[in-house]
Amino acid sequence: MTASSRNAPQPPTRVAIYCRVSTLNQVKEHEEQMDSCDVQESRLRAAISLREGQEGAHELVGVHRDEGASGKSLERPALKRLLDSVKRGEIDLVMVTRVDRVTRTLLDFYKFHEVLQDDDVELYSLQEQFDTTTAMGRAMLNLILIFAQMYRESASENTRAANHRRAKDGLWVGGRTPMGYVRDGETKKLRVVEKEAELVRLVFNRALELSSALRTAKWLNGQGHRHRNGKKFSHDAVLRILKNRLYRGVIVYDGAVYEGQHDAIVDSEAFARAESMLDANNHRQYRAPEDREHDYLLTGLVCDSTGAAMIAKPGRSQTGKLYPYYESSGLRKQIDHKCEVKRLRAEHLEDAVVSVIRELATDSAAIAEGVEEANRLSRSRADPLRAEARGLRVELASVKDGAERLLDTIVEAGIESSTTARRRLREAEARQAEIEARLMSLRSELAELDGQEVDVETVQSMLIGFDGAWDRLTVAERREVLELLVDRIVVKKDEIILDLYDGSGAKVLREPEKANPRSRLGGKNRGFVSDLVWLRRRDSNSRPGG
């Protein structure tokens, strides 16, 4: 910073004042009294002049008066205009005669101050000597915010207690009422909306027939049925209906179940059957791998063209024989999932992935090239961070030295009470804290990048002898090898793309469709051609070594 820039005049502090009286009667009564808006404004203007003499230039940029406005909420025209100016960055300091001119509730004051704090605007109150530009003012603010926090927690506890009482009495505890019910304004009880209730019963009946939430959603949409909000039914929307115990006449709150005062829409027997159906579906979908006939080595690595995971899903032929498939998980939750390949025979996909690794294992030059490229990219991300850290360490030393010299000067001159001196010290301390926080973040980022560096010998040792060792590995060991080498596998219509951790990739082309008219699986049994296309960082199609 040059001497001329240090001596340049600082821009004035932009000040807005806010005044309020409660009712129109008070406006008239207080015209000649100490609490009228005119008197409040006059006192605040005088305070601005006093601050200007002590702390440099101040500019009054706005006078906001709410005459005849209650302090019970923040919904006041002048206060809204003030907050809009704050959000537009037009104000540096807001001044009031008393805190209760802004609001009479701690919670609203907390919200008001949050808005100011978000835009670095300070607050000053004449009566409470409340000034967030000073250490004492900030301490006062902390006390108020502590009480505001206590108030919120107490209100939250009271709300939970009231909801618990309502639930025990069998009443709806609040929130959006589910389809089939509306809350009666007089009795506060849930009342059945018969037209919607008929649709809820239809959802249960059809789900029990189809044994699937997804197929039920498709059927409902196909029949032209729509949810209360006018949208089509989704897998999740059907599940929410089937799992909502409110429909069988009970209230559930905080894990406890109470008999409700509302009429049930679904009888207990139908609800229990729906629960059993969903439990059975979950058991089939999430059964342990050892319960399956196939090992599904690529679970967690393979996804469809939209990025949705492809999960183990055996298919059964008309003769009853099971075939292992990877199926897009998007099909289970989305009505119209837009993936290019819905399902794929597991053995074909796994054989293709293993063949890529077998070929990679035979080319040491390709391995070294891929490892160097991966490490180069890692270093290219780390170098700017290291340069930034070096610059910050130099600045930190300068800031610390400057703060110490400033403190010595203040003590020697006996100006410890100077507002300007205290402000400069606060600025130095704040900058020091910012630098130290950023340096800590940089150290964490650099440590993570250093951990991503790949060692050529380590990769080669993993691949040497791969061809002969693969068949002797256990299922767990095969999964571990694949997870170490393969980052992601993307299944597309006519190709499979592999991203490998060594910095390279591979494209495996699929064979033409081999439809089997006797199979209800739809003829999706396609294999792979034996040749590969190697992708160097996805920017060329040269084979390893050539």
Q: Are 419 and 54 a contacting pair, CB within 8 Å?
A: yes
Per-residue model confidence (pLDDT) at position 458: 59
Among left, alpha and beta (phi > 0; psi -120 to 50; other), residue 262 is beta
Contacts of 485 (CB under 8 A, 6+ apart): 357, 462, 500, 501, 502
Q: Which two tokens stand for residue 523?
A: 């003829």
Q: Which two tokens stand for residue 393?
A: 């360490």
Helix (H) or strand (E) holding 271: helix 268-285
Torsion of CA 462, 464, 468, 473, to 10 degrees: -10
Contacts of 476 (CB under 8 A, 6+ apart): none
Per-residue model confidence (pLDDT) at position 545: 40
Per-residue model confidence (pLDDT) at position 148: 54
Q: Are 196 and 228 a contacting pair, CB within 8 Å?
A: yes
181-285 CATH, one of 3.90.1750.20, 3.20.20.220, 1.10.10.520, 3.40.605.10: 3.90.1750.20
Q: Which two tokens stand for residue 546?
A: 């050539």
Per-residue model confidence (pLDDT) at position 488: 85
SS3 54: helix
Q: Are 111 and 102 a contacting pair, CB within 8 Å?
A: no
**Topology annotation, domain 8-151:** Rossmann fold (3.40.50)
d(CA 520, CA 325): 14
Q: Are 140 and 128 a contacting pair, CB within 8 Å?
A: yes
The domains of the chain are located at 8-151, 181-285, 372-456
Helix ranges (H only) for 223-262 are 235-243
Per-residue model confidence (pLDDT) at position 27: 47
Helix ranges (H only) for 414-531 are 419-450, 456-463, 466-469, 475-485
Per-residue model confidence (pLDDT) at position 439: 80
Per-residue model confidence (pLDDT) at position 363: 64
Per-residue model confidence (pLDDT) at position 388: 84
Per-residue model confidence (pLDDT) at position 288: 43
User: For the chain, which residues score pLDDT lower than 70?
Assistant: 1-9, 23-34, 53, 105-107, 128-156, 283-293, 333-335, 361-378, 410-419, 421, 444, 447-469, 484, 501-504, 510-546
Q: pLDDT digits over 157-187, tens only?
A: 777 788 888 888 888 887 778 899 998 877 7
- CA 42 to chain CA mean position, Å: 48
d(CA 145, CA 114): 10
Q: Indicate the pTM of the whole model.
A: 0.39
Per-residue model confidence (pLDDT) at position 459: 60
d(CA 447, CA 443): 6
Half-sphere exposure at residue 137, Cβ-oriented, CA atoms within 13 angstroms: 15
Kindly give the pairing relationship between strand 528-536 and strand 504-510: antiparallel
Q: Are 228 and 241 a contacting pair, CB within 8 Å?
A: no
Per-residue model confidence (pLDDT) at position 518: 43
d(CA 199, CA 274): 16
Helix ranges (H only) for 88-174 are 106-118, 135-168
d(CA 320, CA 523): 16
